[in-house]
Amino acid sequence: MWQCVLLWCVCVVALMYALCRWLIPAAVHRHGRLALLWHDVCVEPALDWLTHSSRPQRLLRAVQKGAVRGDARSVVANIDRFCHHSEWAMNIGDEKGAILDSVVSEVNPALALELGTYCGYSTVRIARLLPPGGRLITLEFNPEYAAVARQVIEWAGLEDSVQLVEGGSGDWIPQLKEHFGVQSFDFVFLDHWKERYLPDIHLLEECELLRKGTVVLADNVVCPGAPDYLAYVRNSPAYQSSYFQSHLEYTKAVDGLEKSVYLGTTDA
């Protein structure tokens, strides 16, 4: 009798392992919202409990263990490796990251703004492409994320080019001119709470932080999506917008980036 019970337990454990390790991840790989639900609601809390650490802390350890200190490309490559093979994370990822690189290189911004630092992956991608003397201001609401991002940025050797600010975008955007001597930004990257995209683009306009020709690039406009923001920049005469179709970071689920060039105020 006990042998049957033992065999049943072994079979259940094996089935659960197969489901969690291969079958479920394969099923959600092409479904964006399912991927977010699986990785953020199921996998992350379980790993937090098992490892007594957070996903950002595990990502940081991967960087410190595998990346060459002072080599920004090595830092990016190690985070991508960690997210592909160890644990998914909500960075822009390598596929969309190549689009980000292309836009940043095209703009060649002397002054850039990032809303949503997370662990510093996109921060490193942007900062490593800035021209000599270029500067990136990045805002992060979550103190834990900001603490990890500072260490990732420092490991990449980019701390002199990046000003990381803790706090909400709605609080900080009106203070950027006063605190940092900013007149306007050449490039803005939106990758924070999607419901903040529209109010924050309005706030950037109101605070006159966009100049004619400023390029605004928004991530995750399909998954999880920012429909009100897309409707605004695609229909406003103040913007010329184009869409880059891609995939949700480290999956095959459809996602994309929206590039919007600010044309200036339409007021007479």
Domain ranges of the chain: 93-262
Query: From CA 67, how far away is CA 245, in angstroms rounded?
Result: 30
Of 190 and 36, the one with more pLDDT:
190
pLDDT band at 27 (very low <50, low <70, confident <90, very high): low
Question: Mean pLDDT across the stretch 135-150?
Answer: 97
Helix then strand then coil, in percent of the chain rounded to 5, is: 55, 20, 25
| CATH value of 93-262 in 3.30.565.10, 3.40.50.150, 3.60.130.10, 3.90.550.10 | 3.40.50.150
Q: What is the pLDDT of residue 17?
A: 45
Average pLDDT of every residue of the chain: 90
Report, as residue numbers or ranges, the catalytic residues: 191, 194, 219-220, 249
Q: What is the pLDDT of residue 133?
A: 95
**Full-model pTM:** 0.89
Cα–Cα distances (Å) from 201 to 43, 174, 186, 207, in that order, read: 33, 12, 14, 10
